[in-house]
Structure 1
């Protein structure tokens, strides 16, 4: 099972493995408070794509398409996806992000990609 959560939300035992999937460390969060198991910044959108989306928030469909292409073709992302899939084979994985509106961030795209390509 793959869950999504903002990193600012309280850690719960039902979170399972907690993985930060943002490229940048979240503001105002100490490593102790984050209570992470892993930080997989390689699976996040490239810096260029992230910056483009920040300037074009109204173009989620284009962002989604570009990010999915990165997930399919970028070797570093492929390695990170395989690690995520291995971690999530027998336990719950919670993908964490600092995005204010997680529902229109890269995280649900990543969640769907993992479910569709790795049967998580």
Structure 2
């Protein structure tokens, strides 16, 4: 079983994070690369702008967002494979900037990666 966690990029980095990957399409406001402490910014794995705008953190669109994001991930296997390779080496932390820690693209991405493993 892969060890993949999600974490808000605004929370302090920890040695327990393992390899940290920023999975947002846009760089988080107000943060420097030094603060983010990500080993990689993999914006190619983030949902499209159209999908982000559809969801816009409105839970009424959650299921539609999730299905659309899964379809986008299926159509873009290279960054997914890269994340699976990192996760196979040890703990992987997916960093996101959304305020909602339960309903965001990193949660969906984690679910997708675990299903693919």
Which residue number in structure 1 is paired with residue 41 of structure 2? 39
- What is the aligned length? 115
User: How well do the aligned residues superpose, as a CA RMSD in angstroms?
Assistant: 1.2
**What TM-score do you get using the length of structure 1 for normalisation?**
0.91
User: For structure 2, which runs of at least 5 residues remain unmatched after alignment?
Assistant: none
Query: Are the aligned partners of 2:19 and 2:93 in contact in 1 as well (CA < 8 Å)?
Result: yes
Please tell me whether the aligned partners of residues 54 and 61 of structure 2 are also in contact (alpha carbons under 8 angstroms): no
Q: Name the residue aligned to 1:96.
A: 95
Q: State how far apart, in whole Å, the 1-side matches of 2:57 and 2:114 are.
A: 29
* 4+ long deviations beyond 6 Å: none
- 1:77-96 CA distances to partner (integer Å, 9 max, x unpaired)? 31000000111112100000
Instruction: Provide the TM-score with structure 2 as the length reference.
Output: 0.93
SS of residue matched to 1:102: coil
Change over 3 Å in CA distance of 1:92–1:59 after alignment to 2: same
Q: Quick check: 1:70 aligned with 2:72?
A: yes
**Aligned match of 1:16 in 18, 25, 31?**
18
Deviation at 1:58, TM superposition (A): 2.3
